[in-house]
Chain A
């Protein structure tokens, strides 16, 4: 909510399987970039440009995003 300045939305308003972009929550391409950068900063993810074709799928809903982060998070040593 904070990263995207969703001032009138609460976390519980967004379903795990609700579409984040376009006809769903209505986020736009700038939000996609903003989310990507927030994930890199928060979870130390490495997002390579060569993988961008898969991002549309991974960023589709909160559930797909969580699965993506879990699969890509560096192992905690």
Chain B
């Protein structure tokens, strides 16, 4: 059976991390930032509610959308912000009231909600988590929404290290980082996303997002990841 391939039209791409990531140099069309996130579009009273991950997500979203106008969006993270849940659980365990601000942001669509408020954009947003293949599945979801609507769609992905209490359960710990693509025409780059069942190539234990970026940096190729159920690869589309 032929392997399904999907052509991903990429208008813009951005990567952010507070510390340099262990990646080879990325193609010049990826907007790269290391250090404090740039969030001038988000007013301070909104910005203060964001976690370091949330700030990274909004930084890369801002870098690829610029003045694109209303946009559907897919916000994806494997783990989200589990660091918010622990203080809430600790308060409840001690019979104390939990923090309302932490509670209100302790949902997977929290950063997406702040993005929607900050940009005054009421377009539909999907918040997605799909285990170790969150990055690939969210790209597929973004492409599906682009194909269904014919409009550009914003893809935003990010993850952070798990809190110490949960860290032993994490096979492929991710340093804090966030990635965004604006998917749609007119594309400056086209990538083929190919997937086939049966798992990815054996690779070092890193999150799928860093495998995917590493493949981009290394001139394309496979980026399945050790726990992948599908085989994922980039190929430069003609």
User: Which residue numbers of A lie inside 8 Å of B, CB to CB?
Assistant: 4-9, 26-28, 30-31, 33-34, 37, 40-41
Contact = CB atoms under 8 A, between A and B. Distances in A.
A33 B97 CA distance: 10
22 contacts: A4-B48, A4-B101, A5-B49, A5-B101, A6-B48, A7-B44, A7-B47, A9-B44, A26-B45, A30-B100, A30-B101, A30-B104, A31-B101, A33-B100, A34-B99, A34-B100, A34-B101, A37-B97, A37-B99, A40-B97, A41-B96, A41-B97
Contacts of B48: 4-8
Nearest to B100: A33
A23 to B, nearest CB: 13
Q: Which 8 A-B pairs have the closest CB atoms?
A: A33-B100, A5-B48, A37-B97, A8-B44, A34-B101, A30-B100, A26-B45, A7-B48
A33 to B, nearest CB: 4
A43 B49 CA distance: 25
Contacts of A31: 101
A33 B104 CA distance: 11
Nearest to A26: B45
